[in-house]
Amino acid sequence: MAEITLRQAAAWCGGCVDEKYADITFLGAGNDTRTIGKGQLFIALQGARDGNDFVGAAIEKGAAAALCSRRTGDYPAIYVDDPRVALGMIAREELKHIGPKVVAVTGSVGKSTTKEMIATVLAGAYRVSKTPANHNNDIGMPMAILGMPEDTEVAVLEMGMNHFREIAYLSGIAHPDVAVIINIGTSHMEFLGSREGIRKAKMEITEGMSPQGMLLLNGDDTMLSYLEEKPAQRITYFGRTEQCDVRALDVHQEGEFLCFQVEAGRLNVPVRMQLEGEHFVGDALAAAAVGLKLGVPAQVIRKTLEAFRNLSGRQEIFRAGDYTIIRDCYNASPESMIAALGVLGNRSGRRVAVLGDMLELGDCANAEHYKVGRVAAEKSDLVFAYGEHANRIIDGTVTGGMPQTRCRAFTDQEKLVQALRQAAKPGDVMLFKASHGVHLEKVLDAFLGDNTEENT
């Protein structure tokens, strides 16, 4: 991380700083007094609580200074009208100062996994920094930039949104050299109205790019393979269909390994990844395409993809006592739910699906939960649904042919845990899948109790 003086940061964002504090430096940024790091800039945001009221506590915890909208004491601080906007301006200028190539990643499903794959591939040839965890919004991404080492050669930035103009804002901070859109699904339909609206919001990623930038799109997604309005940037398509520039051939599963050939022009590279489910192929192709665009040798791409391991909470498969657990509680959409059920369906043994609500689907929620229930009836032997839409999942399950004695709906986590303990048998394969806001991981933790995990 580069040290930034309050004087410099204030100039970048149009803020004011007391002269006696102007030469104080900070390294990185945080907005939570419980986790603020020593020497960081505390961002006093307005939310359910007024961040300005916590400046003193942040300084006591070791923060070097604060970015705030009003004076609450004699502290090292930069005073601005809106700390959120000022944070973005400071991050934009710091990124220019570091000067890395910028790869931006967005999509409805799998963008964090794709971001991690891209970072893994590029780390085979460059010094890479990436947005951690889900730091993909107007607060997390700028803070991630301020935490990047000064010698970063490539920055891989995930960009999320649930409203129009949010990705445009992030793109204006990052000015990507390469942008990747992995798919257009139904997540955030509640706020964006339609898949066309979701595509429009995702395509905002090009607004911070120069016409010479590289835009990589999933050619298997019909919402991306045909665009009514062509962007200024040249498009490279990745996918399994024939028209794609970077293709996957001979896709198949060998036990716990996902195998395929990456073809790009005359290049043909076999890949064997420790992942289950063909839905990961698009993510891997996006990573391979970015690697090829930035000059990573083909054999390095192969080696790094094969070394990739998924993030915690995203389709982790492990043994716990007598059970095989598929833990996928980080997030959920209709597309990712169906993909996870496909992984469950390919497993031997009695298959138990524990499914929670998918959030932010708006008027599509009833239909999409019902559809997931239909798929669950085909891919599992028992279904336990939890949440506001649990009954719709079960409606779909019963319609799909599963007897009512083998599927149940719950709105109480303790009752769900009790039912799972009564129903579970040694050898069961159990999928736990829901949107993060449902906190289905608490049900899993309570169900497992003292059972230890062993990776498979």
Q: Is 170 exposed, middle or buried (0-12, 13-18, 19+ CB in 10 A)?
A: buried
User: pLDDT tens digits for 111-121?
Assistant: 999 999 999 99
Q: Give the integer Cα–Cα distance in Å for 13 and 72.
A: 20
Domain membership of residue 92 (yes or no) is no
Mean pLDDT of 227-241: 95
Q: Is 120 exposed, middle or buried (0-12, 13-18, 19+ CB in 10 A)?
A: buried
Domain membership of residue 94 (yes or no) is no
Q: Point out the domain boundary residue: 285, 307, 329.
A: 307
Regarding whether 183 and 45 lie in a shared domain, the answer is no
Q: Which H/E stretch holds residue 145? A: helix 140-146
Q: What global pTM score does this model have?
A: 0.85
User: pLDDT tens digits for 289-309?
Assistant: 999 999 999 999 999 999 999
**With bands split at pLDDT 50, 70 and 90, how would you rate the model's confidence at 59?**
very high
Regarding whether 147 and 128 lie in a shared domain, the answer is yes
**With bands split at pLDDT 50, 70 and 90, how would you rate the model's confidence at 362?**
confident
Domain membership of residue 446 (yes or no) is yes
Evaluate if residue 198 carries a pLDDT over 50: yes
Pairing of strands 101-106, 77-79: unpaired
User: Residue 406 sits in a domain of what CATH number?
Assistant: 3.90.190.20
Name the residue with higher pLDDT: 2 or 296: 296
> Could you tell me what percent of the chain has a pLDDT over 70?
98
Mean pLDDT of 26-52: 95
Regarding whether 113 and 234 lie in a shared domain, the answer is yes
Mean pLDDT of 177-205: 89
Q: Give the integer Cα–Cα distance in Å for 348 and 77.
A: 60
Q: Point out the domain boundary residue: 255, 280, 307.
A: 307
Regarding whether 75 and 163 lie in a shared domain, the answer is no
Q: Is the dihedral of CA 339, 342, 348, 351 positive or negative?
A: positive
Q: Give the integer Cα–Cα distance in Å for 105 and 113.
A: 10
Evaluate if residue 452 carries a pLDDT over 70: no
pLDDT value at residue 456: 47
User: pLDDT tens digits for 269-283?
Assistant: 999 999 999 999 999
pLDDT value at residue 311: 73
Specify whether the CB–CB gap between 154 and 103 falls below 8 A: yes
Pairing of strands 29-30, 41-43: parallel
Domain membership of residue 397 (yes or no) is yes
Regarding whether 203 and 335 lie in a shared domain, the answer is no
- Residue 259 φ then ψ, to 5°: -120, 140
Which residues form the domain of 411? Answer: 316-455
User: Residue 14 sits in a domain of what CATH number?
Assistant: 3.40.1390.10
Domain membership of residue 91 (yes or no) is no
Regarding whether 103 and 38 lie in a shared domain, the answer is no
Q: Which H/E stretch holds residue 443? A: helix 440-448
Specify whether the CB–CB gap between 456 and 352 falls below 8 A: no
Regarding whether 407 and 273 lie in a shared domain, the answer is no
Regarding whether 150 and 276 lie in a shared domain, the answer is yes
Q: Point out the domain boundary residue: 274, 307, 340.
A: 307
Domain membership of residue 88 (yes or no) is no
Mean pLDDT across the chain, nearest whole number?
Answer: 94
Domain membership of residue 89 (yes or no) is no
Regarding whether 146 and 68 lie in a shared domain, the answer is no
CB atoms inside a 10 Å sphere around CB 299: 10
CA atoms within 13 A on the CB side of 159: 33
Regarding whether 201 and 159 lie in a shared domain, the answer is yes
User: pLDDT tens digits for 396-414?
Assistant: 999 999 999 999 999 999 9
Domain membership of residue 375 (yes or no) is yes
Evaluate if residue 454 carries a pLDDT over 80: no
Regarding whether 103 and 231 lie in a shared domain, the answer is yes
Mean pLDDT of 134-151: 95
Regarding whether 343 and 293 lie in a shared domain, the answer is no
Nearest to 355 by CA among 452, 377, 183, 367: 377
**With bands split at pLDDT 50, 70 and 90, how would you rate the model's confidence at 186?**
confident
Residue count (the chain): 456
User: Number of folded domains in the chain?
Assistant: 3
Show the CA angle centred on residue 387, arms to residues 384 and 392, nearest 5°.
70
Name the residue with higher pLDDT: 355 or 450: 355
Name the residue with higher pLDDT: 199 or 190: 199
Residue 198, amino acid: I
